[in-house]
Amino acid sequence: MLVIRPINAADFTALKTIAIESGAGFTSLPVNDERLKQKIQHAEHSFAAKVEQPGDQGYLFVLEDTQTGEIVGTTGIEAAVGTGTPLYHFQQNTVIHHSAELNVFNQLKTLTLCNDYTGASEICTLFLREDYRRNHAGRFLSKVRFLFMAEYPERFSERVIAEMRGVADKDGQPPFWHWLQKLFLTIDFTTADHLIGIGKKAFIAELMPRHPIYVGLLPESAQEVIGQVHQNTKPALNLLENEGFTHKGYIDLFDAGPTVEAQLKQIKSVAESKKVPVKIAAVQGEQTLAVANTSLQQFRASFSTEAQYDAEQELLLLSAEFAAALQLRDGDMARFIVLDKA
């Protein structure tokens, strides 16, 4: 069985393996021992903290195969981004150049450096090892964050964002990056990616263009990928769009991937989740449910057809084995959503 739980110090080696496997462009998990240990410690403190409003908390979860004890994935939420270290994006705009005398009317796209998402919550750090990319595991890894956020809304902003990976070539280099490197940064992508991953972002404010950039002046290879996602990221984007996330013109500085956003209460899995008492019973449902307990530090969640909602009694029926994996007993409260039909 695959179970989500908060990360702890004993998961360091597994987290480093995931960081290596995730490759370039996955800046939230840099291959840096000190930074990874800091992320684990920060997560442990965040789960333990008493919180009345979102701040500098980061909630990092791991997906564990309970049969083998192996950590096979990770997923996370940042409570309020940009409040400590600035979070930068390019905002896409349109400016009008109009001459009535010459009967010329031009609409020109621009990119402007901004910090507009400061204070928003961010869902991030989703990675599932290749052998486990089946049987709803990826869908669950994404949606389980919404179960946690629905249970603890005071810990998160009303605005939730997700940065989607942009287009890259066969060597992992974003076409959008090349013009930035040539004109402004003069460092290679790997170096910039590493600096972002370990939290050293001062060079962005120091070297990035301070004035709006006319998109039409960029190389065609850069223009073509603005707001586009990496081929491997399309399923994740589709899932978020089905949850109600939309792209409002903000893109990543380096690969031009879109940042999508939604209001927390309007996210489909948040709005449709139900919190009801548990009853242990022999059950084989017709749908796959994602179920979570309501604990904070001992948060557990998984998915199974051995769960069924009894609407008449307003009870969540769980098999004994499934309930035990989630540390749930008769009468405990649990939160669930329908993950998919069986």
| Confidence (pLDDT) at 197 | 67
Whole-number Å distance between alpha carbons of 94 and 102: 21
Whole-number Å distance between alpha carbons of 230 and 164: 8
Q: Is 70 exposed, middle or buried (0-12, 13-18, 19+ CB in 10 A)?
A: middle
Query: What's the pTM?
Result: 0.91
| Confidence (pLDDT) at 262 | 98
Instruction: Tell me the average pLDDT of the chain.
Output: 92
**Which amino acid is present at 322?**
F
Contact at 8 Å (CB) between 264 and 160? yes
Please check the confidence at residue 204 and state whether its pLDDT lies above 80.
Answer: no
Confidence class for position 342, pLDDT limits 50, 70, 90: very low
| Confidence (pLDDT) at 42 | 96
Lowest mean pLDDT: which of 9-13, 103-107, 115-119, 202-206? Answer: 202-206
**Count of CB atoms situated within 10 Å of the CB of 308:** 19
pLDDT digits (tens, 9 = 90+) for 162-171: 999 999 888 7
Domains of the chain: 2-89+115-269 (3.40.630.30), 273-341 (2.40.40.20)
Confidence class for position 61, pLDDT limits 50, 70, 90: very high
Q: Residue 195 region, left (φ>0) first, then alpha (ψ -120 to 50), else beta? A: alpha
Catalytic residue among 45, 89, 136, 230: 230
**Count of CB atoms situated within 10 Å of the CB of 80:** 21
Whole-number Å distance between alpha carbons of 262 and 228: 19
- Joined together, the tokens standing for residue 172 give 């992992």
Residue 89 is a catalytic residue: no
